[in-house]
Amino acid sequence: MLNTGHSDSFAFTLEDLRWVLEAESGTALLQTGLDMIIQTVPPIMGGALLLQTSSRQLQVQSGIPADALDIVEAWKTAWRPSQQGEEHEADFTLPPDQWVALPMQSYRHLVAGRALFYVQEPLTQEVLHFLQNLLSILAHYANIIEENRAARRYSQRLELLFDITRALTETLDLQGVLSYTMQLAATAMDAEAASLLLADPKTNELYFYAIHSTQRDRLVNVRLQNNQGIVGWVYQTGEAVICDDPANDPRFSQVVDERSGFVTRNILCVPLQVKGKRIGVLEVLNKHGDESFTEEDKHLLMTLAAEAAIAIENARLYQNLREERDRIMRIQEDVRRELARTLHDTTVQLLSSIVMSVSHAQKLYERAPELLPDELRNIEDLAQRAMLSTRQLLFELRPVVLETRGLGAALEAYIQRLDEISRQTRFILDLCEDLPDLPPHVAQTLFAIVQEAINNAIKHAQASTIRVKTVCTDEGMEVLVEDDGKGFDLKKVQQSYDVSGSLGLINMYERANLIEASLTIESEVGKGTRIQIVLPYESLDRLRAIAENR
């Protein structure tokens, strides 16, 4: 039996203290202990316990009269415990007679706390001694319980982190997996809601991408400026934020709450970053109960954000690869169709003419042999043209000179061949003297754009002159393709892509984007067409570095 030395009416047996081992939390333990003290020690009518454990600060109170609550709050504010058992108490004097303050330390002073009792008469030394022992027991076991809770919570969070990491790496269904991640994040943080916002660099906005909230449907189309609210502040600065009083925080924006009907009490928000580049933010809101988000919560959410950011980047890369694959397949299909048309319109037509001319020559041999030499010369001319056309086609499919001698030499050979086989159009090439050395894939891309532009002009422009020109400036290099043909309505052509099925202009734009170049098309009906490709040296240096590191 543990005896207070005051009266048998407040003596405790070890059986009476079994609740110490059964308490689910340090707060529950302190509350039960305080209630038992008030019930068992008659002079004590109320009290408050304040304990700093190794993981968090615990506060409980009971039986304090309404007119004395201000005294308790002032006492709490005056005392500042630390996790090392040290106490820091500001100047504060309790009113005499009705208040007793005692230290509350565990064995070996692992944790520190204070107890304040509201009494109707002074306590004896025996009672004070008993309370001191009991407070030590409460402090000791409250700390143990909190450490166990923290260990269990840490273990649960590791399991959640493992589940999230596995989910993020097992699928590329980004929308589904991130929605699931938001659910797990809210669970891990013991929060009401969680959301992930991604940045839209085109509009300088943040938009909700994955949401776990009862108000999800109201947030799907909500967008914020990327400097608006706490999420905007986190995105702009790259710093995580714990905000316990959003209503009085000047960074907080009421826009989302007003649109969704959600009431934000507290926020933990962290940036999403990949290789130093911010791509969005991740936030959890309204921790359950009266608790605030902790530094431990922040570190865990930052870990989740890092995993989510990598998953987003991987999914984007995968999507880009799929789009690039589809683009290449589309280009290959266009090339096959173009090859078929070119063979049909040139080489096949010429070969058909040769076959017909040979048949005619056989008949001339029998009926008018004196006309045979002229027909043979016609056959020779057709054969020469078929040979030039075939060589030109092979050159366009794979210009070996481009691989061996670069863009300038390839353009010279290309224009020369076009000039040889064309009878209606004159081709002019003007190369700048200091044309820079280009990585192979850059030279191939520029050459392909020039080919596409010239082929379009030959087929559709009815131009008498087509000029290809390279310009070298201090900022970069330019390639221009100009014709004096009939021109076209650019806006009308762009609007009819899906109907016409013509992808020539789209292919040129896409190829220019691949090498970080800009492509401008100017055309007007009756006034010809001008196509300009601008490749800044800054982009060229970056592309050259990438090519050298492969």
What is residue 360's three-state secondary structure? helix
Question: Is pLDDT at 334 greater than 80 in this prediction?
Answer: no
Question: Is pLDDT at 454 greater than 50 in this prediction?
Answer: yes
Residue 236, pLDDT score: 94
Report, as an integer, the average pLDDT of 199-209. 90
Closest CA to 89 of 78, 102, 98, 76: 78
Answer yes or no: are the C-beta atoms of 146 and 56 closer than 8 Å.
yes
What is residue 484's three-state secondary structure? coil
Question: Is pLDDT at 14 greater than 70 in this prediction?
Answer: no
Answer yes or no: are the C-beta atoms of 430 and 412 closer than 8 Å.
no
Closest CA to 540 of 473, 468, 454, 451: 473
Share of the chain above pLDDT 70, in %: 87
Question: Is pLDDT at 422 greater than 90 in this prediction?
Answer: no
Distance between CA 27 and CA 30 in Å, rounded?
A: 5
Residue 87, pLDDT score: 47
Which of the given ranges, 177-181, 304-308, 397-401, has the highest pLDDT on average? 304-308
In sequence order, the β-bridge partners of residue 483 are: 466, 529
Closest CA to 504 of 436, 428, 448: 448
Question: Is pLDDT at 10 greater than 60 in this prediction?
Answer: no
Question: Is pLDDT at 339 greater than 80 in this prediction?
Answer: no
Q: In angstroms, what CA-CA distances link 410 with 394, 446, 451?
A: 13, 11, 11
* C-alpha 140: how far from chain center: 46
Angle in degrees, CA 300, 302, 305, rounded to 5: 115
- Alpha helix positions (H), 171-228: 174-189, 216-219
Dihedral angle, C-alpha 201, 205, 210, 213, nearest 10 °: 170
Among the listed ranges 53-67, 99-113, 160-174, 339-353, which one has the minimum average pLDDT value? 160-174
Distance between CA 248 and CA 255 in Å, rounded?
A: 15
Residue 550, pLDDT score: 61
Taking only the tens place, the pLDDT of each residue in 254-277 is: 888 888 888 899 999 999 998 888
Q: Which domains does the chain have, with CATH numbers?
A: 8-151 (3.30.450.40), 166-318 (3.30.450.40), 399-550 (3.30.565.10)
Answer yes or no: are the C-beta atoms of 34 and 134 closer than 8 Å.
no
Report, as an integer, the average pLDDT of 134-149. 86
Residue 91, pLDDT score: 53
Residue 108, pLDDT score: 63
Distance between CA 426 and CA 423 in Å, rounded?
A: 8
Question: Who has greater pLDDT, 233 or 148?
Answer: 233
When the pLDDT of each residue in the chain is averaged and rounded to a whole number, the result is 83
Report, as an integer, the average pLDDT of 71-98. 66
Secondary structure percentages of the chain, helix, strand, coil, to 5:
55, 20, 25
Burial of 289 (0-12, 13-18, 19+ CB in 10 A): exposed
Q: In angstroms, what CA-CA distances link 234 with 211, 212, 355?
A: 18, 20, 76
Distance between CA 547 and CA 515 in Å, rounded?
A: 12
* C-alpha 60: how far from chain center: 43
Query: Which two three-digit tokens encode residue 49?
Result: 């316990």
Q: In angstroms, what CA-CA distances link 457 with 314, 429, 441, 491?
A: 41, 15, 24, 17
Report, as an integer, the average pLDDT of 56-68. 89
**Amino acid letter, residue 334:** D
Sign of CA dihedral 483, 486, 489, 495: negative
Band (56; pLDDT cuts 50, 70, 90):
confident
What is residue 197's three-state secondary structure? strand
Distance between CA 321 and CA 298 in Å, rounded?
A: 34
Distance between CA 252 and CA 359 in Å, rounded?
A: 88
Question: Who has greater pLDDT, 161 or 72?
Answer: 72
What is residue 209's three-state secondary structure? strand
Distance between CA 19 and CA 21 in Å, rounded?
A: 5
Taking only the tens place, the pLDDT of each residue in 488-503 is: 888 888 776 655 545 6
Residue 493, pLDDT score: 80
Dihedral angle, C-alpha 226, 228, 229, 233, nearest 10 °: 50
Which of the given ranges, 66-70, 185-189, 422-426, has the highest pLDDT on average? 66-70
Residue 167, pLDDT score: 66
